[in-house]
Amino acid sequence: MDYKKSMKRCIELAKLGEGSVTPNPLVGCVIYDKDGNIISEGYHKKYGENHAERDALLKLHNDEARGGTLVVNLEPCSHFGKTPPCVDLIIERGIKKVVAGMEDVNPIVAGNGFKKLKNAGIEVVTGILEDECKKLNEVFIKNMKERKTFVAIKTASTLDGKIATGNGSSKWITSDIAREEVKIIRNRYAALLTTSATVIADNPSMQHKCNIILDRNLKTVSRYKIYNNERVIIFYDEALPQPEGSAEFIKAPLKEGKLDLEFVFNQLYEMKIMSVLIEAGGHLNGSSLKFADKIYHFIAPKILGDNSGRSCFDYREADDINLCDNFRIDSIEHFGQDILLTYYPISKM
């Protein structure tokens, strides 16, 4: 059996649950019979529903998987949650070998699933495409290990780093095909975050199940498109009186005259919003870099060439090139004439 090929298939299956399983991890599963033939596949489709292993096993009759191999990108759970422990069903169905990508970082599991399988006489193989499996569940890993919300930034700029002209003209920098990819990226995150300045300037719809607006002085009102979304959360200056409206209003302290971002992100975790994608102007993008876990940067083959143009990261003055924040480019993808750079802060590697 080609373990790596099987694990890649698990990862493909797991991605089908993007946007639906949070706060759970993304998990896919492939089951082989004793002769090495694929007899079932499954994935975790939605939070509260069957995990990937249970999804795959329950498609089979009781003895079909006996003596076979189960491949999964994450250690099978060993505890009761929304569903019973997957290891119990794996043992019950007579699986002979379990091949896993990585150990579960949830302290409730963390090796206990593997231990229970081994105690039942099942061979366990681990660490297959482990880096890819960890990348797949980078949100879940941060949630579990740091007890914090995963923060990503999406921006789109010209070759010279501009997101708009000096008077705010910005539609459109990138192509239709690049903007379609943005919709896919958005779906991976539990919420989108922007500022009142962006809402007022662009009136974006930012269609999502949860939208967050940093509106220190409560400048936005319900006539903006963003308020048509399912859930809208407003962070505003705690010194202001409690506003009225259908949105969720949260008081926030100020830091250096602006809403305290550390408070905002901590509050999001307390609200069980486990991941957030920032789509805003250069000021918030730049101010959020020290909290960011990942950046999606679309670049169009255009040059504005105007110093008054607005930059994608505009948050400080620096007179020494060695003050640059450093990043690791993870991937370069083409979308029509545009490219997408996906990169991570080196400080968080």
Q: Give residue 314's pLDDT.
A: 87
Average pLDDT over residues 69-90: 88
Q: Give residue 8's pLDDT.
A: 98
| Nearest Cα to Cα of residue 273 among 184, 212, 230, 187 | 212
pTM of the model: 0.92
Distances (CA, A) of 104 to 41, 111, 265: 20, 7, 24
pLDDT at 333 over 70: yes
Structure tokens at 236: 């505003």
* Least confident segment among 57-66, 166-175, 183-192, 299-308: 166-175
| Nearest Cα to Cα of residue 50 among 11, 12, 19, 76 | 76
Mean pLDDT of the chain: 93
pLDDT at 194 over 80: yes
Q: Work out the pLDDT band at 81, boundaries 50, 70, 90.
A: low
Active-site residue, 53 included: yes
Average pLDDT over residues 256-274: 96
Q: Give residue 171's pLDDT.
A: 79
* Least confident segment among 103-107, 116-120, 291-295: 103-107
Average pLDDT over residues 267-293: 96
Question: Active-site residue among 12, 41, 53, 230?
Answer: 53
For CATH 3.40.140.10, the residue range(s) in the chain are 3-142
Q: Give residue 110's pLDDT.
A: 84
Q: Work out the pLDDT band at 80, boundaries 50, 70, 90.
A: low
Average pLDDT over residues 81-99: 91
Q: Work out the pLDDT band at 308, boundaries 50, 70, 90.
A: confident
Q: Give residue 89's pLDDT.
A: 95
Average pLDDT over residues 146-162: 95
For CATH 3.40.430.10, the residue range(s) in the chain are 145-348
* Least confident segment among 258-267, 279-288, 311-320: 311-320
Q: Work out the pLDDT band at 1, boundaries 50, 70, 90.
A: confident
Cα 293 to Cα 305: distance, rounded to the nearest angstrom: 30
The pLDDT tens digits of the residues spanning 155-167 come to 999 999 998 887 7
CATH of 3-142, one of 3.40.50.2300, 3.40.140.10, 3.10.129.10, 3.30.1130.10: 3.40.140.10
DSSP-derived 3-state class of residue 323: helix
pLDDT at 44 over 60: yes
* Side chain identity at residue 272, one-letter code: K
Q: Give residue 223's pLDDT.
A: 82
Average pLDDT over residues 116-132: 96
Give domain 145-348's CATH architecture. 3-Layer(aba) Sandwich (3.40)
pLDDT at 112 over 80: yes
Does 168 or 126 have the greater pLDDT score?
Answer: 126
Distances (CA, A) of 113 to 66, 74, 88: 19, 10, 9
Q: Give residue 348's pLDDT.
A: 59
Q: Work out the pLDDT band at 188, boundaries 50, 70, 90.
A: very high
- Provide, rounded to the nearest whole percent, the portion of the chain with pLDDT above 70: 99
One DSSP character per residue, 31-52 reads EE-TTS-EEEEEE--STTS--H
Structure tokens at 270: 């307390």
Given a contact cutoff of 8 angstroms between Cβ atoms, the answer to whether 149 and 265 are in contact is yes
Structure tokens at 246: 């259908």
Cα 86 to Cα 89: distance, rounded to the nearest angstrom: 5
Q: Work out the pLDDT band at 307, boundaries 50, 70, 90.
A: confident
Average pLDDT over residues 50-71: 95
pLDDT at 109 over 80: yes
pLDDT at 67 over 60: yes
